Amino acid sequence: MQTTLNVIVGMLCVLTVVACAPVRSRPTAEPDSVSRPTSQIADSSNVRPLVSSTFSPGVITYGYRSSSTIQSTAGDSVPQVDSVQVSARLAIAFQPLSAQQTISVVVHIDSLQVTHVPNGSLPAIQSAISQPRAETNLIVDLRSGRILSSHEQVPCTQEAQELVVQGNETLPNISPRAPSTTSWVDTTVRRLCRGGVTLRITQVARYQLVAQANDLDVSHVIVRNTDGEILGNGSQWQQTVQAMGRSAAVDTFFIARSNNRISRILGSSRLEISFQSERRSQQFLQLSQTQITAY
């Protein structure tokens, strides 16, 4: 299990809330088969697009916490169940760019800690990794609602280190027609490097926007259901490794009535993934819960 554990721990950001930087995004489309509850949100051309108000200039700070269990389901003589906990502080600054209808997003990440408890061991022998302060840069395209990455891809090696938390976990793709429209679909293809294995992740996210007339603190709720397919290959310990998996996640974004910012995010996800090398075949099941709260 140790040969692929560094890959599995890194999978936390594959599934939970907005999951790492997209390389390519297909056009957002609104499914014709989805009925639109006009009683929930009025269709008015005078309503300010939610994407521009949610990502308006300013700074917002979040506390990030996630908890996962990782169970080996095949390939180990004795089944193992590990747990991983991640915590961090995110300070996100939004600033308009000179290019029309784009917003620069600078994410400052600090107090990032990853705690691993192997195979149900006592906390006394758990391992914790504290990563240094980091910064990521993203762009919000207000014309499409997509979140774009501004960093370049680097060669994927076993020594390559990518942050488990990258900040765009707080940034959903919001249709430029919301709140006039209440449902939309977005497909993204992402590439991640985890422990020498390059993972290609294709995700289809279905969004539903609901007005919260009975909640004094929340103006809208965005529910996102995401299905993903994962394919990967690379090298670990001088062995060729292939990966294959499927994922499902449900994320709920709460938008504050006072400032139209995202104030809280709740997420849950399920990942089934297998790793095949020349000498070994392993399968894992990961279940994760994530909570992100604005200070």
DSSP lists the bridge partners of residue 67 as: 85, 289
Average pLDDT over residues 129-146: 85
Q: Is the pLDDT of residue 266 over 80?
A: yes
Q: Is the pLDDT of residue 94 over 70?
A: yes
CA 128 to CA 180: how far, in whole Å?
46
**DSSP string computed for 222-273:** EEEEEEEEEEEEEEETTEEEEEEEEEEEEEEEEEETTTS-EEEEEEEEEEEE
CA 163 to CA 292: how far, in whole Å?
17
Tell me the pLDDT of the chain averaged across its residues.
80
Residue 111 falls in which region: left (phi positive, over 0), alpha (psi -120 to 50) or beta: left
**Which band of pLDDT confidence, cut at 50, 70 and 90, is reported for residue 128?**
low
Give the β-pairing of 22-25 and 127-131.
unpaired
Q: Which helix (DSSP H) or strand (DSSP E) does residue 66 occupy?
A: strand 58-74
Residues 6 or more apart whose CB falls under 8 angstroms from that of 107 comprise: 90, 91, 92, 93, 135, 136, 137, 138, 166, 167, 168
Q: What is the pLDDT of residue 246?
A: 96
CB 132 within 8 A of CB 108: no
Q: Is the pLDDT of residue 225 over 70?
A: yes
CA 82 to CA 285: how far, in whole Å?
11
Q: What is the pLDDT of residue 206?
A: 97
Asked if the peptide bond before residue 179 counts as cis, ω within 30 degrees of 0, the response is yes
- pLDDT tens for each residue of 156-179: 877 766 678 888 889 999 999 999
**Which band of pLDDT confidence, cut at 50, 70 and 90, is reported for residue 282?**
confident
Phi, psi of 133 (to 5 degrees): -60, 140
- Stronger pLDDT, 6 or 172, i.e. the higher one: 172
Q: Is the pLDDT of residue 93 over 90?
A: yes
CA 210 to CA 148: how far, in whole Å?
25
Q: What is the pLDDT of residue 35?
A: 37
**Which band of pLDDT confidence, cut at 50, 70 and 90, is reported for residue 91?**
very high
Q: What is the pLDDT of residue 278?
A: 82
pTM of the model: 0.82
Phi, psi of 51 (to 5 degrees): -65, -35
- Stronger pLDDT, 154 or 19, i.e. the higher one: 154
- Stronger pLDDT, 119 or 145, i.e. the higher one: 145
Average pLDDT over residues 71-93: 83
- Stronger pLDDT, 157 or 150, i.e. the higher one: 157
Q: What is the pLDDT of residue 127?
A: 60
- Stronger pLDDT, 165 or 269, i.e. the higher one: 269
Residues 6 or more apart whose CB falls under 8 angstroms from that of 12 comprise: 66, 68, 84, 86, 164, 288
**3-class secondary-structure state, position 168:** helix
Q: What is the pLDDT of residue 249?
A: 96
CB 215 within 8 A of CB 245: no
Q: Is the pLDDT of residue 232 over 80?
A: yes
Residue 160 token pair: 């390559």
Average pLDDT over residues 49-64: 94
Residue 99 token pair: 């290019």
CA 61 to CA 229: how far, in whole Å?
32
Give the β-pairing of 218-236 and 81-96.
unpaired
Range 8-20 burial, b when 16+ CB lie within 10 A, else e: bbbbbbbbbbbbb
